[in-house]
Amino acid sequence: MPCLGNEQKQITMHEITIDKALSRAEIYETLLPQIKTIIEGEQDLIANLANITAILAEGLGFFWVGFYRMIDGELVLGPFQGPVACTRITLDRGVCGASATQKETIVVPDVEQFPGHIACSSRSKSEIVVPFIQDGKVKMVLDIDSETLNSFDQTDAKYLEQLAEMVTNLHPNI
């Protein structure tokens, strides 16, 4: 997605189109193709992850959306939208660590009920973490936090796992 200056005639900017009256599933159905269009033209993983967090935050209205990348056996904060967050999470800690260890999506309806939950923000009430797996290894996790309880369910898991597949297919060597 090149962005040219105002003085140049051709300006290529993407605007995300979302009808807020749609159901959560319909919003994902609308967003995923738009994400694909934006990221398939760019090879840089970080640039694409940054735009994915912007699209999900804008499209779904959650207050924290971000990636933790697996670096030397630890989850390290990557591109995100929202308040300042913890930079490193060891695999024995938090929802992110549990998702990376179990290689499974974890839906947390109430973060206070999740043993070991890491509260980067007291505003976080519920959470979903989705692992991005390539060659059998967890390369990163996507973490989304909501300010309300019970914000996530299997619909979110289904579409975010589709997103994970899309990203790992488009970036064969994460």
Footprint of ligand SME on this chain (CB under 6 A)? Answer: 64, 85-86, 89, 94-96, 117-118, 120, 124, 127, 143, 145
Nearer to ligand SME, 89 or 130 (CB): 89
Nearer to ligand SME, 39 or 89 (CB): 89
User: Rounded to the nearest whole angstrom, what is the least distance from the CB of residue 144 to ligand SME in the complex?
Assistant: 9
Comparing every residue's Cβ against ligand SME, the nearest one is 94
Residue 41 half-sphere exposure toward CB, CA atoms < 13 A: 11
| DSSP per-residue codes, 24-41 | HHHHHHHHHHHHHHHHTT
Query: Within a 10 A sphere around the Cβ of 128, how many other Cβ atoms?
Result: 23
Nearer to ligand SME, 86 or 166 (CB): 86
**20-to-32, 50, 82, 152, 170 alpha-carbon distances in Å:** 15, 22, 20, 17, 28
Residue 138 half-sphere exposure toward CB, CA atoms < 13 A: 28
User: Rounded to the nearest whole angstrom, what is the least distance from the CB of residue 121 to ligand SME in the complex?
Assistant: 7
User: Rounded to the nearest whole angstrom, what is the least distance from the CB of residue 167 to ligand SME in the complex?
Assistant: 19
Nearer to ligand SME, 18 or 118 (CB): 118
What CA–CA distance (Å, rounded) separates 119 from 83? 12
User: Rounded to the nearest whole angstrom, what is the least distance from the CB of residue 118 to ligand SME in the complex?
Assistant: 4
